[in-house]
A and B are shown apart, each in its own frame.
Chain A
Amino acid sequence: MSTVSSEIISQIEQLNREYISALDSLDMTAWLNCFNKKGQYNFISEENHRRNLPIAFMLDDCYKRLQDRVTQVVDIQADSTEHYQTRHFTQLMSVEALDNGQYQAEFNYSIYYTRRDSNQTQILCVGRYMDVIEIAENAVNFIKRKAVTDTNVLPRYIAYPV
């Protein structure tokens, strides 16, 4: 972490804040904007990740898939989801510089959800984000966000990315 400037760290933390506030306000366009055209998103159980089993809960391996994730949430499944309010809490654990203005970062996360029908709050999942971030002239974006969840058995179906 020592080789990465505090300015870079704060840019990475800002990108992460934009990401989680997009999800907590269910603004899928803002979520998509956190990625650039190389962007990939993956939400996978810790069990599969550890055992090298590639099946994920969500696997968006190109920008078009990210766009289709937005379509799925906003258009295709909007009316069948019992809506829940999420709240993401994250903590930056490490940043390392790679080549070409790219950085590898890791955040811990815990996500609470509150059901609109019961108003009860429960844990949705807990885990870590394993990220690759690209910092270009005027843009800070994920080119990869992999959410590895320790919660190997999800407590419910999950309608939105985490």
Chain B
Amino acid sequence: MAHTTSQDPLLTWPKKYNEIPKAVFEMEELWPKELETIFYGEEWHPIVHRAEIPNPGDYKAAELGEMPIFAVHGEDGVIRVFQNTCTHRGTSLITESSGNKKELECPYHRWLFNLQGDLVGCPNSRDYSPSFDKKDFGLAKLRVEEFCGLFFVTMSDKTPPLKEYLGESFYEPLSRVLGGDGRLKLIGYQKVMYDCNWKAYCDNDGYHAPLLHKAFALLNWQGGKGVQNVSENGHLSFESELKIPDDITALEDGSILDFKGTETSTGSIVQMQFPVTVYSKHMDMLNIRYAFPKGPKGIEVHYAYFSHEDDDEEMVAHRIRQSSNLLGPCGLISMEDASVFSRIDKGNKTPGNAIFQKGVEDEHVLSFTVKQNDESGNLPRWEHYRKRMGFERSES
């Protein structure tokens, strides 16, 4: 097995900016390094929206890389994120994906933690080691920042502040995905495993949408004006008008596609935050896609859907109906993406490079100017990945 030193890189990167080595989707040896430099490195990862754990004691389990963590709503109203491990000898504390607890008790030796993470009880502590001090054994807390009710974590002290990290061209549309002001209500999840490397999952582009998704053509659904904003650290934000025809002949019930809109809406926003998170707002669907790579193969995606606190009953019902049927692993306008993820993975077990074309004006220059239906918007993300991983570009 290859080992990593700067003299002996796992992978050499092609010279041209629009070429990605197919091996990057297949080499299992990359995973430990990706954990270290990306998932445990200087990146922010969204874990929970306040709407998912609205009351004191509510918790939600998650993973960061391979590390189990959980978010909990404290008695003091503060949301914190902890490693999911007892500070005595490591028993996991949370065993369900979500729930409500008054306190966190480890069953093994009954150490007891409050919702703020402090160790408040430990039986027979008179017999503990001389240096033991309760205060040193609170739950291990992660660095957290909030934006519009969404809580992000990072393992590094060096990660820039969240807003700076996302940049305005990313967080401004994100605020609209999050209802404008973050006053959301959870309406449910769709969870699924996709059979591909995590990088194949988040390599979806602006070129494919009208071509892969037959629903767009069948519904005579023309893309309106739109933009793609890319950032140097690999975030990508699409925004476009939606022009849905008044008369949808391909469907018996066209109301599923109604865009009731709100003051803060453009028709369609899709955002990909490095490394693995997608946010989207199509018509009246407000969606966060939390994603959890399961090692080098397989990625578990949790689509979380929201309504807004100000919605009337009719709007909530509409959002539920639309979200259940259009996005997600069975959705009318999205199921094909899932199919492509696993086919990309299969097809890339072949030699050579995957070569991007649409929107590439000069193969030797990394461009940040991207048109709505270009695939070149993914190239800054790949460049960011390459740098994080320390891969050298080949000379020729």
Is A59 in contact with chain B by the CB < 8 A criterion?
A: yes
Is A93 in contact with chain B by the CB < 8 A criterion?
A: no
Is B102 in contact with chain A by the CB < 8 A criterion?
A: no
Query: B339 is contacted by which of A53, A62, A64, A82 (Cβ under 8 Å)?
Result: A82
Contact A45:B325 (CB < 8 A) given known A58-B330, A64-B252, A157-B330: no
Is B67 in contact with chain A by the CB < 8 A criterion?
A: no
Query: A59 is contacted by which of B214, B251, B324 (Cβ under 8 Å)?
Result: B324
CA–CA, A77 to B333, complex, Å? 9
Contact A64:B189 (CB < 8 A) given known A55-B323, A154-B329, A157-B338: no
Binds A, one of B166-174, B175-183, B190-198, B274-282: B190-198
Contact B343 A82 (CB under 8 A): yes
Contact A77 B251 (CB under 8 A): no
Contact A57 B336 (CB under 8 A): no
Render A27-56 as a binary contact track against B, CB cut-off 8 A, 1 for contact. Answer: 000000000000000010101100101111
Contact A76:B332 (CB < 8 A) given known A68-B253, A157-B192: yes
Interface size on B, residues (CB 8 A): 39
Is A17 in contact with chain B by the CB < 8 A criterion?
A: no
Contact B187 A68 (CB under 8 A): no
Is A8 in contact with chain B by the CB < 8 A criterion?
A: no
Query: A153 is contacted by which of B192, B214, B328, B332 (Cβ under 8 Å)?
Result: B192
Query: A81 is contacted by which of B195, B324, B339 (Cβ under 8 Å)?
Result: B339
Is B215 in contact with chain A by the CB < 8 A criterion?
A: yes
Render B58-98 as a binary contact track against A, CB cut-off 8 A, 1 for contact. Answer: 00000000000000000000000000000000000000011
CA–CA, A55 to B307, complex, Å? 11
CA–CA, A106 to B340, complex, Å? 36
Residues in B with CB closer than 8 Å to A76 are 214-215, 218, 250, 332
Residues in A with CB closer than 8 Å to B195 are 156
Contact A82 B214 (CB under 8 A): no
- Chain B residue at minimum C-beta to C-beta distance from A82: B339
- Within the complex, the shortest CB–CB distance from B309 to chain A, in Å, comes to 16
CA–CA, A67 to B321, complex, Å? 16
CA–CA, A43 to B192, complex, Å? 14
Contact B214 A53 (CB under 8 A): no
Contact A68:B330 (CB < 8 A) given known A55-B188, A153-B191, A155-B193: no
- Chain A residue at minimum C-beta to C-beta distance from B328: A57
Is A80 in contact with chain B by the CB < 8 A criterion?
A: yes
- Interface size class on chain A is 35 or more
Contact A48 B251 (CB under 8 A): no
Is A65 in contact with chain B by the CB < 8 A criterion?
A: yes
Residues in A with CB closer than 8 Å to B320 are 54-55, 59
Residues in B with CB closer than 8 Å to A61 are 321
Is A72 in contact with chain B by the CB < 8 A criterion?
A: yes
Residues in B with CB closer than 8 Å to A154 are 191-193, 329
CA–CA, A59 to B305, complex, Å? 14
Query: B212 is contacted by which of A53, A75, A80 (Cβ under 8 Å)?
Result: A80
Q: Please name 13 further chain A to chain B contacts, defined as beta carbons within 8 Å, in addition to the given A61-B321, A77-B215, sorted by A numbering.
A: A54-B320, A54-B324, A59-B324, A65-B325, A67-B253, A72-B332, A76-B214, A76-B218, A80-B335, A82-B343, A156-B192, A157-B330, A157-B335
Contact B253 A65 (CB under 8 A): yes
- Chain B residue at minimum C-beta to C-beta distance from A67: B252
Residues in A with CB closer than 8 Å to B338 are 156-157
Render B189-212 as a binary contact track against A, CB cut-off 8 A, 1 for contact. Answer: 111111100000000000000001
Is A152 in contact with chain B by the CB < 8 A criterion?
A: yes
- Within the complex, the shortest CB–CB distance from A23 to chain B, in Å, comes to 14
Is B231 in contact with chain A by the CB < 8 A criterion?
A: no
- Chain A residue at minimum C-beta to C-beta distance from B303: A55
Is A137 in contact with chain B by the CB < 8 A criterion?
A: no
Contact A158 B253 (CB under 8 A): no
Residues in A with CB closer than 8 Å to B193 are 153-156
User: Sorted from nearest, which 8 A-B pairs have the closest CB atoms?
Assistant: A55-B188, A53-B188, A157-B338, A59-B324, A64-B253, A64-B252, A80-B336, A157-B329
Contact A48 B335 (CB under 8 A): no
Is A159 in contact with chain B by the CB < 8 A criterion?
A: yes
14 contacts between A and B (CB under 8 A): A43-B330, A45-B191, A51-B98, A54-B187, A55-B189, A55-B190, A57-B329, A58-B324, A58-B330, A65-B252, A72-B332, A77-B335, A155-B192, A159-B335
CA–CA, A51 to B97, complex, Å? 12
- Chain A residue at minimum C-beta to C-beta distance from B248: A68
Residues in B with CB closer than 8 Å to A7 are none
Contact A55 B305 (CB under 8 A): yes
- Within the complex, the shortest CB–CB distance from A160 to chain B, in Å, comes to 9
Query: A71 is contacted by which of B97, B250, B305, B340 (Cβ under 8 Å)?
Result: B250
- Within the complex, the shortest CB–CB distance from B204 to chain A, in Å, comes to 14
Is B140 in contact with chain A by the CB < 8 A criterion?
A: no
Render B86-115 as a binary contact track against A, CB cut-off 8 A, 1 for contact. Answer: 000000000001100000000000000000
